[in-house]
Amino acid sequence: MSFITLQIDESSGIGTIILDNPNRRNSLNRFLMEELNDIIERLEELEGDVKVVILRSNFSEFFSAGGDISEWYSYTKIQAYREGIKGAKILERLENLPVPTIAAVSGSCLGGGCELALSCDFRIASESALFGQPEILLGNGPS
């Protein structure tokens, strides 16, 4: 399985999901979320082979900048609602994986990226980690 915005490593019973979209600072756009959904589906199929899942960024400066706001502006209200529901369902699937999940966070972890980390069972933060929910300044609260 090949991905563009994410990487997956399933060796030694550890499933490592690596956020790898530097141009968008790992923003949770529609494409990245679809890839994340595909990876979660794959991990569900490997039940028993993977004992733990680690979610991390490929970059020490940022975990995720959150939702891709530039993408939001192209949505109608109905599209925004549907994308929000779809994203929440993907995060819920991550929460419900039958193995422990760990978010390894360094750098900025904002908005939807923070929600992504919170969807894991455990969060390990480096000294450089910075958590926040700046979307409230846009009148949009966390899901």
Active site residues: 115, 135
Strand-pairing partners, residue 102, are 54, 122
Q: What are phi and psi of 114, to 5 degrees?
A: -65, -40
Rounded alpha-carbon distances, angstroms, from residue 136 to 72, 110, 141, 143: 15, 11, 5, 11
Secondary structure (3-state) at 62: strand
Secondary structure (3-state) at 2: coil
Q: What are phi and psi of 135, to 5 degrees?
A: -65, -15
d(CA 106, CA 129): 4
Q: Contact, 95 vs 116, CB < 8 A?
A: no
